[in-house]
Amino acid sequence: MATISTHVLDTVKGLPATGLTVVLQAQDGAEIASVVTDGDGRVSDVAGDDLPTGVLRLVFGTGAYFAARGVQAFHPEVVVSISLTEHRHYHVPLLISPFSYTTYRGT
């Protein structure tokens, strides 16, 4: 089965985005897991090792993260749809600021 990890960095502060909620959803929007980034902005295992291949969505709570820090953000959430095509590990880094974000397939 497939596994997913993530690492979120706040590029304005140049620090990990700690305490940011990440929700993993099936393609139909059903919640599979909900986790919070650790002190290093990481989640090493979003939902265990029982994920099937197919399309899933990672929903990052960027609006709540920035609001908790007194910053108004343009994106209330960042949704990253990913296609798990193999039974392997997938790493999804996210770089955030109040007005932009960047993601890529990591290793």
Q: Could you read off the pLDDT of 39-71 as tens digits, one per residue?
A: 999 999 999 877 878 999 999 999 999 999 999
pTM higher than 0.85: yes
pLDDT above 90: residue 7 = yes
Residue among 6, 73, 76 at smallest CA distance from 34: 6
Confirm whether residue 42 is marked as ligand binding. yes
Q: Which two tokens stand for residue 27?
A: 């393609």
Output the domain CATH number for residue 66.
Answer: 2.60.40.180
Query: How far apart (Å, rounded) are the C-alpha atoms in residues 102 and 30?
Result: 25
Instruction: Tell me the three state secondary structure of residue 64.
Output: helix
69 carries a ligand binding annotation: no
Categorize the per-residue pLDDT at 30 as very low, low, confident or very high, splitting at 50, 70 and 90: very high
Q: For 3-23, what is the mean pLDDT?
A: 97
Q: For position 71, what pLDDT does the model report?
A: 97
Confirm whether residue 57 is marked as ligand binding.
no
- Please tell me the total count of domains within the chain: 1
Domain housing 86? 3-103
Residue 1 has a pLDDT of 80
